[in-house]
Amino acid sequence: MSIRRERLRALLDGFARGEVGREEVLTRLDRAPVDHLPFAVVDHHRALRLGHPEAILCEGKAVGEVLEIARAMAGRGEGFLATRADPDTLEALEAEFAGLEVSRRGRIAHLPPDEAVGTEVLGTVLVVSAGTADIPVAEEAVLSARAQGNPVRTRYDVGVAGLHRILSVQDELREAAVVVVVAGMDGALPSVVGGLIATPVIAVPTSTGYGASMGGIAALLTMLSSCAPGVTVVNIDNGYGAACAATRINQCASPRSRSVGSEEG
C-alpha cells in the first residue's frame, strides 16, 4: 500500500489498542516504497514524507505511460492526481477509473483513495482568480488542494480592474486559513489581497495577457516585487505548486501539528 501519515497513524493506533495484529501490520507495510516501470519510478512513500502523494505530470507523457503510472498508484489504494492532462488522456483515464473527478478546464483529474482518511488542517483554502481567463490555472489549484485533503472554496473574477469586487469578499478572505491568488495581466491582485489580510497569501502568475505581459513574466515580476510583505510566489501557471504550498501551511498550522511539535520540543 501507499502510505499517508494519517493512514499509518491509524494503523499504529489500531496495533497499540490491540485491534490490529502484528502480522497484519507487517503485511501492510512490507511492499516496496517504489514501483520500477520501464519509463518511470513511482514513489509510493512521498505521502509519508510530505503529507500528500506524488502527482502524475501528464505533459510530455504518452497516454499509455500515464495510464500505467496511474494503475501503479491506484493499485496501492491511494488513488492519484494527474495534472496537465490533454483531452485524450482525460478520456482514457475516465474510461478506466470509476469515480474519477475531472476538471477539463483545469486539465486535471483526481481519483480518491480507496479509504477516506481525514487530514488535520487549520481551515479552508480560498482560491481567488483575478479574471475569468485565469480560471484554468485556478481550477488546477482547486482540485490539487482538495485532493491533498483541504476544504476549498473559490472566488473568481474579482480582479483590480473593478476593485470593489475583491473588497466585497474581505470577510471570506479573512476567514480562510490560506488564500491562493491567481492573476495574469499586471498581476496586481496578490498585493491588494496581501495588504488587506494577515492570512498567508500564495500568488500564482498566469500567462494570460497582451504582448507586454510576456507570457506571465510581467505578472511574475510584479508579484515578486510586491509591496505587501510576506506574499509567497510560485511559478507561472503553477496552480499545482500553489496547492502544495497551501497544503503545507494548512497542515503545519493545524492543532495536531502544533501539539505534536510542542510535545517533541
Q: Give the Cα separation of 98 and 112 in Å (integer).
A: 10
166 by DSSP, 3-state: which? helix
What's this model's pTM, rounded to 2 decimal places? 0.79
C-alpha grid cell, residue 260: 505534536
| Residues 199 and 176 sit within 8 Å (Cβ to Cβ) | yes
Q: What CATH code is assigned to 125-252?
A: 3.40.50.1970
Q: Which sequence spans correspond to the domains of the chain?
A: 35-117, 125-252
Per-residue burial over 83-107, b if 16 or more Cβ lie within 10 Å, else e, is bbbeeebbebbeeebeebebbeebb
pLDDT tens-digit profile, the chain (265 residues) = 334 556 666 767 777 887 777 777 666 665 656 555 665 656 655 555 655 667 889 999 999 999 988 988 887 777 889 999 999 999 999 999 988 999 999 999 999 887 666 677 889 999 999 999 999 999 999 999 999 889 999 999 999 999 999 999 999 999 999 999 999 999 999 999 999 999 999 999 999 999 999 999 999 999 999 999 999 999 999 999 999 999 999 988 655 555 544 444 4
